[in-house]
A and B are shown apart, each in its own frame.
Chain A
Amino acid sequence: GIQVEQSPPDLILQEGANSTLRCNFSDSVNNLQWFHQNPWGQLINLFYIPSGTKQNGRLSATTVATERYSLLYISSSQTTDSGVYFCAVGVTDKLIFGTGTRLQVFP
């Protein structure tokens, strides 16, 4: 089956720093989503981005479907950005999750 790999697995930042999270996938996909799981376990939709670039405030995402990767950019990080970031790819009727990047932002 399709493999979804995220890097880095862990990231520690000081408030105000920028970061880039990467998601690689091993086969063609129909869609790609980025989620943030906050420290209370809630999954929050960040982007639905099968291709191209989207921006939402301090966050932006780019998916290059032909090269099978997606990037999530976080600028001017805040402590509330802490948690785990997942990418998930859509294949036929299934959504397959990566193992996530755990982000810790310190004041």
Chain B
Amino acid sequence: GAGVSQSPSNKVTEKGKDVELRCDPISGHTALYWYRQSLGQGLEFLIYFQGNSAPDKSGLPSDRFSAERTGGSVSTLTIQRTQQEDSAVYLCASSLAHGERAQYFGAGTRLSVL
């Protein structure tokens, strides 16, 4: 695609449910990043992938969060047993290679946990 695509654009869920957020990066981009943006907070780094590998998972806030990437392309961020504090915009970005400064962002998934 022309840009980074994220789905769904909005997700409302009940506390305790699991959710899956999808990111489809720009074709040919080997690096993929997940961030979380909460109201009044900066972008919080969650995890990055180089190919299908995630060398740095240090940003994941708890073991309820996990992510995978398959085929060096689509990535899924899964949040298990969602809590109200998980409500935020989850942004995905991709770049040609890890360390490449030009990260291209998707529009994000706005998650609301009731």
Pair from one complex: no
Which residues of B pack against A, CB within 8 Å? none
